[in-house]
Amino acid sequence: MKKVLYIYASPLMTNPKGSSCTEALNLFKKEYEKLNPTHESIILDLNKDPIGQASLTAHNFEAFFNCGKSDKHIQQLKSIDKVVIASPMINFNYPSTLKNYLDRILVANKTFKYKYDGKGESEGLLKNLKVQLLMSQGATLGWYPFASHVDTLVGTWKFVGAKVTKPILIHGTKIPENIQKNSQEQIKNHKEKIIEATKTF
Ligand SMILES: Cc1cc2nc3c(=O)[nH]c(=O)nc-3n(C[C@H](O)[C@H](O)[C@H](O)COP(=O)(O)O)c2cc1C
């Protein structure tokens, strides 16, 4: 029996029109569960879980890594098989709740071997994981060449040794022809890709 962690990271999850990456994740989860009824689904909503709320600062530096939360979430990642993340672009990056989570789990000698040993010398320690990213952004792909929340997340998960499947990006959600759409309409053209991705995940 495989274990799948579903991470919700959109601050727009409670938007009356819905959240497109959350809608994508819910569809992915539903279809994946249909195909794999014995697999366990674990939910992590970073808008609710305290792990999403606290940032690393000069005033909590020691406690941040030693209070047990970091180890708890690293242990969770070591004990599961797959991670599916829903994340929009917020001010040219992924949401800060997701950064707070990553700050807890990106720990030298726990999720990767020390990164300053030399270029290409570090080794990811989460080789057990497969990751699917379900992403969204208001702008059309390519409008902000300096910003890619997708590439940053792909690189980060690869850095810790995970196998990252092809990300799905729902882009252009805020351009004039899409802005009035609700989240179900926003993901309409991506549904097939999402369902297809569940078959090989
Ligand atoms: C505070 C805030 C900042 C945003 N920043 C960006 C941005 O930098 N680039 C972009 O393309 N879209 C940006 N957006 C638009 C969202 O990425 C877009 O609406 C996305 O579809 C919302 O996520 P959802 O998948 O939860 O619906 C921003 C939205 C909000 C609310």
Task: With residue 6 as reference, give the H or E element that holds it.
Answer: strand 3-8
Q: Measured in angstroms, how far is the CA atom of residue 151 from the centroid of ligand 1?
A: 16
- For 61, the domain range is 3-200
pLDDT value at 119 more than 80: no
Number of domains making up the chain: 1
Residue nearest to atom 26 of ligand 1 (CA): 19
Q: Is 170 exposed, middle or buried (0-12, 13-18, 19+ CB in 10 A)?
A: buried
Q: Measured in angstroms, how far is the CA atom of residue 17 from the centroid of ligand 1?
A: 13
Residue nearest to atom 27 of ligand 1 (CA): 19
Q: What is the pLDDT of residue 114?
A: 75
Q: What is the pLDDT of residue 164?
A: 98
pLDDT digit string (tens) for 130-140? 999 999 999 99
Other beta carbons less than 10 A from residue 102's beta carbon: 17
Ligand 1, residues 174, 178, 187: which to mutate, most atoms within 8 A of Cβ?
174
Beta-carbon-side half-sphere exposure of residue 102 (alpha carbons within 13 Å): 16
CATH of the domain at 52: 3.40.50.360
Where would I find the H helices in 20-120? 20-35, 61-66, 69-79, 96-105
Residue 182 DSSP one-character state? -
Cα separation, 42 vs 145, in Å, equals 34
pLDDT digit string (tens) for 81-112? 999 999 999 999 999 999 999 999 999 999 99
pTM (predicted TM-score): 0.97
Other beta carbons less than 10 A from residue 60's beta carbon: 12
